[in-house]
Structure 1
Amino acid sequence: MRAEDLPLVRAWRNHPAVRQHMFTTHEITAEEHAQWFQRQQADATRRLYLFERDGRPQGFMHLSGVQLGGVCEWGFYAAPDAPRGTGRAMGAATLAELFTVEQVHKICGQVLQGNAASMRFHETLGFRPEGVLHQQHCSTDGRHLDVHCYGLLAADWRASQTG
């Protein structure tokens, strides 16, 4: 992701269909988004990817804690108008990058209660449920939501690629 991608990624992030599944659901301002981008650039363990298919941007992937043999976390969203299957393609490409190029040991993801599509997405890609943080997140409407934790080990991913 480059600085010139910020308006597009911000528009996706602020779309109601994307925003409703985020840990922070307010509309992100241009200034807030630019400051976030600067902080990400200063951290050598962070990666920001714009996923493109057929030369067209279709999704965003945010990775933190990326280091050789380490455990990293991911967050992502497809463009609201992305074709069906974009998330799976984006996820598969990111897993390949992290496990083969970056050589991380494990990838973790968190999903808010009620986001069944993201839970299925993680499980389809081979992630295992690792627990639930009960009433961990307070939503903007004051509800306390569970956070579902998922993990995928490099060895398990490699095994799934060969057989």
Structure 2
Amino acid sequence: MLRQATDDDVHLMLSWRNQDINRQVSTTRHEITPAEHATWWSQVRADPARQVLVYVREQVPCGVVTFFDLRLDGPRTAGWGFYLDAEGLAARGETLPAWLEVMREAVDHAFDVLALDRLDGEVLAHNTVVRRMNRRFRFVEGTPRRAEVDGQEIEIIPISLDRDDRRRR
């Protein structure tokens, strides 16, 4: 289940985002400080082009889905991303089922609730597991670009999924 994030979720979101596994597959790899996170949260809450949702599995909050750059006039598009409580899910043996579920729910939210025509995102080239999962959900990879992150050059691959190409349950 996805629900709107609230002020009560801020500390959980920060702890999950700072897990090493989540930082390693992000373009923001440093440990985010509480002050940085508070600034981000205040900006997100005030921005109508953004949504932050908490993923809840069996009544336990365990992930975050973000939609940003929501464009609801003309072609309806948005960017998206997510991260999970990797440590908590691994300890419970629920990583893969949660991963599949959060992606299904995020795609459903994008097309059924937000009524998007296209959902966009990006993935780091070295993140082959996520790239395979994206293909399973019928996301199409675009032309990679190079960027410098923490003094290291990385390759970032844009992805997109059109409403008509989405996998139905």
Tell me the TM-score normalized by structure 1.
0.91
Q: Does 1:122 align with 2:122?
A: no
Q: Does 1:5 align with 2:9?
A: yes
- Number of matched pairs: 157
Report the equivalent of 1:95. 107
Report the equivalent of 2:82. 76
CA distance in 1, matches of 2:141, 2:124: 13
Alpha-carbon deviation of 1:145? 1.0
Give me the identity figure in percent.
24
Residue 52 of structure 1 aligns to a residue whose secondary structure is strand
Q: For each residue in 1:32-54, what CA deviation from the matched residue of structure 2 results, as whole angstroms up to 9, or x when unmatched?
A: 11110010011111110110011
Residue 22 of structure 2 aligns to a residue whose secondary structure is helix
Match of 1:56 among 43, 56, 60: 60
Residue 7 of structure 1 aligns to a residue whose secondary structure is helix
Q: Does 1:145 align with 2:154?
A: yes
Q: Which amino acid aligns with 2:121?
A: G
Q: Is the 8 A contact 1:129 1:150 kept in 2?
A: yes
Tell me the TM-score normalized by structure 2.
0.88
Q: Which runs of 4+ in 1 moved over 3 A?
A: none
Structure 1 runs not aligned, ≥5 long:
none
Residue 16 of structure 2 aligns to a residue whose secondary structure is helix
Q: Does 1:104 align with 2:116?
A: yes
Q: Does 1:24 align with 2:17?
A: no
Report the equivalent of 1:161. 168
Q: Is the 8 A contact 1:66 1:72 kept in 2?
A: yes
Q: Is the 8 A contact 1:71 1:108 kept in 2?
A: yes
Q: For each residue in 1:92-133, what CA deviation from the matched residue of structure 2 results, as whole angstroms up to 9, or x when unmatched?
A: 111111101111110111111211122112111110112211
Alpha-carbon deviation of 1:86? 1.0
Structure 2 runs not aligned, ≥5 long:
none
Aligned-CA RMSD value? 1.3
